[in-house]
Amino acid sequence: MTEDDFYRTSTQYRLWSFTPESLASIRATTNAAAADGVKAAFRSLRSGQNDGKTDRDDDGSDNEVDCLTIEEEQKIVGAFASETMDLVDFCNYPTNVKATAVQYLKRFYLTNSPMTYHPKEIERTAVFLATKAEDSFHHVKSLAEKLDVSTEAILAPEFLLTQGLRFTFDVRHPFRGLEGGFMELRAYANGKGQGGPLLGKSAKAIREDMLQIDTLPRMAAKPKTSRDLIARIEGAHHESKQLLKTSALLSDAYFLYTPSQIWLSALLLVDEPLARFYINTKISPESDIKVRLITVLQECGHLLRSSRTGQPDSEEKKELKRINKKLARCRNPQKMDLVGMNKAQKRDPSRNGGEGLDENVAKKRKLERAQSMKEGEDLFGPSIQKAG
């Protein structure tokens, strides 16, 4: 099996890969369902307060809630994705935890709305879940102390988040592909690499070809030695990795492109001649596949270039402030207290589809006690019966 075949078996490809049209459709459906839920919750709340009076203002007009638009939801989620990155940096967790936590947040809000569950309550749980998924586990108490919140605030939304993730925790990132590709480029620069099977060139010939590729405007002179090539490669590596750690995470790249396409598009953005040289070592220059691949990489590169890369500017902050105020007025009142909802679920498992939970737990404990008693009899023998 090829790497492509392996990727197609992953949950990321099967459940979290979309076309731009299908992605937009999912978000529209989520927004409409959330808006209906918010309006129904407010009508129910007002109905109880008005003792059955109709939900109308004094002038007879309908008193509807002004809900977030799809675009406003995306801006809020994007802002909290950026905040999640800052949160991970504050906790000194590794890059893979940061990348996974952001993708958990973005995946969750494909089928859930900020109007239903506020991102501030979900982002902390996304980070905690990412530490476990990325084998960088930190106890929840440690994270709670760093964030100055209760452990319940982190744990309460955990099952809700895993449901939103469809119980799939694997996230395929472009970082490994980036490192592998640049290892090959360094080998080519040192005259040790091997090209694709169709090229038929020696390592020395590939190195000579590499010395002839076009320079960039910012370069002082054309590389003449292996050391010059390595310097160019290291610069491209640093810039590409920065794109993967910012724009790739904050954009829709993970939903629309494969990890290999993402890192190659980043390289194409920072050093197009070097990217085209690398692709030529894998695919024949005359191949139709190469033309299609370059087109896809350019589209992905455009997405990375147009994405936000960090903190919002003054205009974006002003817009986010407006949206946050709007969100405060249109949050679903029935879903605002996740900690309280979680405690209520534990007290009354029949709520929210959890019927039978206590019964199952009781049966399990009864079986465990019976098994323990049986093992005790097997060890010490049956109890001694009194003589009649």
Per-residue pLDDT of the chain (388 residues; tens, 9 = 90+): 677 788 889 999 999 999 999 999 999 999 999 999 999 999 888 887 665 555 554 443 446 889 999 999 999 999 999 999 999 999 999 999 999 999 999 999 999 999 999 999 999 999 999 999 999 988 999 999 999 999 999 999 999 999 999 999 999 999 999 999 999 999 999 988 776 655 677 888 889 989 999 988 888 788 889 999 999 999 999 999 999 999 999 999 999 999 999 999 999 999 999 999 999 888 887 788 999 999 999 999 999 999 876 677 888 899 999 999 999 999 999 888 888 787 776 665 555 444 445 556 556 656 766 665 565 545 445 555 555 4
Number of CB atoms found within 10 A of residue 204's CB: 10
Looking at residue 62, the DSSP 8-state letter turns out to be B
Residue with tokens 């904050």: 250
Distance CA 283, CA 293 (A): 10
> How many Cα atoms within 13 Å fall on the side-chain side of residue 335?
24
Helices 272-280 and 259-270: crossing angle, nearest 10°? 130
Looking at residue 318, the DSSP 8-state letter turns out to be H
- All residues at 6 or more sequence positions from 215 whose CB lies less than 8 Å from its CB, including other chains: 221, 222, 223, 273
**8 Å CB contact between 128 and 104:** no
- The three-class DSSP label of residue 56 is strand
Of 189, 135, 132, the C-alpha closest to 158 is 132
pLDDT of residue 369: 61
Q: How far is CA 87 from CA 312, 328, 381, in A?
A: 16, 22, 58
Q: How far is CA 311 from CA 97, 247, 323, in A?
A: 20, 12, 17
The structure's pTM equals: 0.84
Start-end of H helices in the chain: 3-8, 11-16, 20-49, 70-90, 95-111, 119-133, 140-147, 151-155, 158-164, 175-189, 203-211, 226-245, 247-250, 253-256, 259-270, 272-280, 288-306, 314-329, 338-347, 357-380
